[in-house]
Amino acid sequence: MAGEMMTGNLAAAWGARLAGVDYIPAFPITPQTEIVEALATWCESGAMAARFVTMDSEHSMMTAAGAAAATGARVFTATSSQGLLYAMEVLYSISGWRAPLVLVNVSRALAAPITLEPDHNDVLAARDSGFLQIHAETCQEVLDSILMAYRIAEDARVMLPVIVNLDGFYLSFTREPVILPAPEQVAQFLPPFRPAHLGFKASAPHALGVAVLGGTPYSYFRHQMHLAAMNALDVHSETAAAFERLFGRRYDVVEGYRLDDAEDVLVMTNAFASRGKVAVDAARAEGRRVGLLRLRMIRPWPADAIRDALRSRRAVAVLDQNLAPGQGGILFQEIAASLYGEPLRPRALCSFIGGLGGKNLSEGEFRAIFDQTAEAGVRGKGIGPILLYTEAEHREMTQLQALAGGLNS
Amino acid sequence: MIAVRFHGRGGQGAKTASRILGTAAFLEGFVAQDSPIYGAERRGAPVAAYTRIAREPIRERGLIVHPDLVVVADASLIPDPAARVLEGIDERTAVFVNSPLTPEQFHAQGSLPGRLTTLDLTDIALQQFGKGGAISALLGVVAGRLVGLRQDSLREAIVRELADLSLAASVIERNQAVAFNCYDAVRPVLVEAVAPQPIPPAQLQRPTYEPPTRGTARISAAANSVLRETGGWRTFRPVLVPDKCNGCWLCFVYCPDGVISMTKDDKPVIDYDHCKGCQICVHECPTDALVAEREKEGGVAWRAK
Ligand code: SF4
Ligand code: SF4
**Are residues B178 and B279 both part of a single domain?**
no
- Cβ contact (<8 Å) for B35 and A175? yes
CATH topology agreement for domains A2-247 and A255-394: yes
Tell me if chain B has a CB within 8 Å of the CB of A174: yes
- Is A174 close to B19, i.e. CB distance below 8 A? no
Residues B143 and B256 in one domain: no
B61–A116 CB contact, under 8 Å: no
- Boundary of a domain, candidates B170, B185, B200: B185
Beta strands per DSSP E along B38-83: 46-54, 69-72
Structure confidence at residue B43 (pLDDT): 81
> What are the CA-CA distances from residue A9 to residues A167, A282, A286 (Å)?
10, 30, 37
Bridge partner list, A265: A291, A316
- For residues B134 and B43, membership in a common domain is answered with yes
On whether residue B270 sits in a domain, the answer given is yes
Look at strands A76-79 and A102-107 and give their pairing.
parallel
Which residue blocks in chain B are alpha helix, DSSP H?
14-27, 103-109, 121-129, 136-147, 151-164, 169-185, 212-215, 250-254, 280-284
| Residue ranges in A248-302 assigned as alpha helix (H) | 272-285
Parse chain A into domains and list their residue ranges: 2-247, 255-394
**Buried/exposed A83-98: b ≥16 CB within 10 Å, e otherwise:** bbbbbeebbebbbbbb
Q: What is the pLDDT of residue B227?
A: 82
B15-42: pLDDT as tens digits? 999 999 999 999 999 999 999 987 767 7
pTM for the model stands at 0.94
Of B162, B185, B208, the last residue of a domain is B185
Based on the domain organization, do B100 and B169 belong to the same domain?
Answer: yes
Could you tell me which CATH class the domain A2-247 is placed in? alpha beta
Indicate if B77 and B151 belong to the same structural domain.
yes
Q: Which ligand is nearest to the CA of B278?
A: 1
Among B46, B80, B227, CA closest to A403 = B227
User: What's the rounded mean pLDDT across residues A270-277?
Assistant: 98
ipTM: 0.94
pLDDT per residue as tens digits for the range B160-192:
999 999 999 999 999 999 999 999 999 999 999
The Å distance, Cα B285 to ligand 1 centre, comes to 11
Mean pLDDT score, A120-147: 98
The answer to the question of residue B219 being in a domain is no
Report the CATH number at residue B298: 3.30.70.20
CA distance B26 to chain A (A): 7
- Residue B119's alpha-carbon distances to A189, B96, B102, B132, in angstroms, are 53, 8, 8, 15
Ligand 2 pocket test, pick from B240, B243, B251 with the greatest ligand atom count within 8 Å of Cβ, gives: B251
> Which residues of chain A make contact with B63, given a CB cutoff of 8 A?
360
Question: CA of B179 to nearest chain A CA: how many angstroms apart?
Answer: 22
Q: What is the pLDDT of residue B112?
A: 86
Q: Region of A98 please: left (phi>0), alpha (psi -120 to 50) or beta.
A: left
Strands (E), A117-181: 132-135, 162-167, 175-178
Question: Of B10, B15, B21, nearest to B183 (Cα)?
Answer: B21
356-375 in A: which are within 8 Å (CB) of B? 360, 362-365, 367-368, 370-371
Residue pLDDT, tens place only, B229-264: 889 889 889 999 999 999 999 999 999 999 999 999
| Domain with residues A255-394, CATH architecture | 3-Layer(aba) Sandwich (3.40)
Pocket test for ligand 2, best of B261, B280, B287 (most atoms within 8 A of CB): B287
Average pLDDT of the residues of chain A: 97
Contact A169 B199 (CB under 8 A): no
Domain co-membership, B237 together with B180: no
Per-residue pLDDT of A107-119, as tens digits, reads 999 999 999 999 9
Q: What angle do CA B278, B280, B285 make, to 5 degrees?
A: 145
Same domain, residue pair B147 and B283: no
Quick one: closest CA in B to A275, which residue?
B60
Instruction: Look at residue B132 in the predicted model and tell me its pLDDT.
Output: 64
Decide if A97 touches B, using CB distance below 8 A.
no
Residue B33, domain extent: 2-185
Task: Answer yes or no: is B172 within a domain.
Answer: yes
CATH code for position B73? 3.40.920.10
d(CA A12, CA A32): 10
> What average pLDDT does this structure show over B140-144?
98
Task: Give residue A127's pLDDT band: very low, low, confident or very high (50, 70, 90).
Answer: very high
Residue A247 is which amino acid?
F
Pocket of ligand 2 (CB under 6 A): B 240, 245-251, 268, 285, 287, 289-290
Q: How many domains does chain B have?
A: 2
Quick check: A368 and B204 CB within 8 A? Answer: yes
Interval B46-89: pLDDT, tens? 999 999 999 999 999 999 999 999 999 999 899 888 899 999 99
